[in-house]
Structure 1
Amino acid sequence: MTTHHPNTRRLVYGHATNHDCLAFVDADTAAGEAPEIRALAAARTWGEARQVQMTHLSNPAGPECYEEDDYPDDEPFDITEVGAIVEGYWPEMVTARALDALPQDLQDRYGEVVLTVHNGEYLQVPLDGEAELVAELRERGYEVTRDDDLVNLLDGLRLGSVTA
């Protein structure tokens, strides 16, 4: 059996509620981004939000997006009112990540590329393909874990109710 990746690729997948299909994400990426999203969602003031350190994501409330004149540090912060989040640009659409995470032949066989008006392409992987696709990934040496909550957090679902 030939393996396509010398190092084990670790993927997290789950049911992405927004598109009602499966989403696949690199596990290390997911592990890095999730605490950053939670930290921003937990910020109570714009000052706190601006100071959230992000290494995996850009901070949509950060100084490069908003001046302190727009929102003083002590102004109450509501993540659901941040422009990039309202417009759906942050965090990146989770279903788009399968385009990088999955091998091309499996994308072709199990998914369909869908073009959205505002956010570009994503891979729609129907829920009923889960067992076969996961089995095939594991045969190829991928480590695959299902975590619906993590996938939906990465998609920005219900950000206003996320707690740290």
Structure 2
Amino acid sequence: MTTHHPTSLRLVYGHAQLHDCLAFADANTAAEEAVEITALAAARTWGEARQVRMTHLDNPAGPDYHEPAGDCADDQPFDINELGTVMQGDWPRMVTARAFALLPEDLQDRFGTRRSTAHNGDFLEVPIDHESELVAELRERGYEVTRDDELINVLDGRGFNPLVG
């Protein structure tokens, strides 16, 4: 008997350093999302930041999303950590919150604990020591699961955010 692996059941996971627990992301889009986050963080001027193409995420430096605090002309220096949504921890969205949409509810209840943050909502805390059992359970249910700690932490903004870093 062959097991069918629908593309929606491809997960990447890793140790999210901010919350010191496991986090999960959709393996079909995670790498592209990480490229978008990294590209915006690398922008040196407001013009560059506005031009970063976002397919999976909103661009918090885009004309529809930022509240200018001072001179945001295209040639002005850009620092991603000065964006309100980044300073408040709203962008990128906490990677540890994605488990609510990605993991079956019974596994969320069995392996994780819903935790709240003061400003950014709830996340699922999945202790590192549950990794082998949870991954085995997911694979048994037909999920394709791979571990990539670096990718998970880029998705959490760890590459640029001093609050996370």
Over 3 Å counting, the alpha-carbon distance change for 1:105 and 1:160 in structure 2 is closer
**Partners in 2 of 1:93 and 1:87 — Cα distance?**
11
| 1:82 pairs with 2:88 | no
Over 3 Å counting, the alpha-carbon distance change for 1:44 and 1:107 in structure 2 is same
Q: CA deviation at 1:38?
A: 1.1
Over 3 Å counting, the alpha-carbon distance change for 1:95 and 1:160 in structure 2 is closer
Does the 8 A contact of 1:41 with 1:160 survive in 2? no
Aligned-partner SS, 1:134: helix
Partner of residue 150, structure 1 = 151
Does the 8 A contact of 1:12 with 1:147 survive in 2? yes
Pairwise CA RMSD of aligned residues? Answer: 2.0
Over 3 Å counting, the alpha-carbon distance change for 1:160 and 1:120 in structure 2 is closer
Partner of residue 42, structure 1 = 42
Does the 8 A contact of 2:108 with 2:124 survive in 1? yes
Over 3 Å counting, the alpha-carbon distance change for 1:28 and 1:74 in structure 2 is same
Q: CA deviation at 1:120?
A: 0.9
- Can you give the 5+ residue segments of structure 2 that lack an aligned partner in the other structure? none
Count of aligned positions:
159
TM-score scaled by structure 1?
0.90
- Can you give the 5+ residue segments of structure 1 that lack an aligned partner in the other structure? none
Aligned-partner SS, 2:50: helix
Identity of aligned residues (%): 67
**Partners in 2 of 1:62 and 1:147 — Cα distance?**
29
Q: How does 1:11-160 map to 2 (within 5 A)?
A: 11-64=11-64, 65-66=66-67, 70-159=71-160
Partner of residue 6, structure 2 = 7
**Partners in 1 of 2:24 and 2:68 — Cα distance?**
35
Does the 8 A contact of 2:10 with 2:28 survive in 1? yes
TM-score scaled by structure 2?
0.89
**Partners in 1 of 2:42 and 2:116 — Cα distance?**
32
Does the 8 A contact of 1:78 with 1:160 survive in 2? no
**Partners in 2 of 1:70 and 1:50 — Cα distance?**
14
**Partners in 2 of 1:146 and 1:81 — Cα distance?**
31
Over 3 Å counting, the alpha-carbon distance change for 1:153 and 1:119 in structure 2 is same
Does the 8 A contact of 2:25 with 2:98 survive in 1? yes
**Partners in 2 of 1:67 and 1:88 — Cα distance?**
18
In structure 2, give the amino acid aligned to 1:39: A
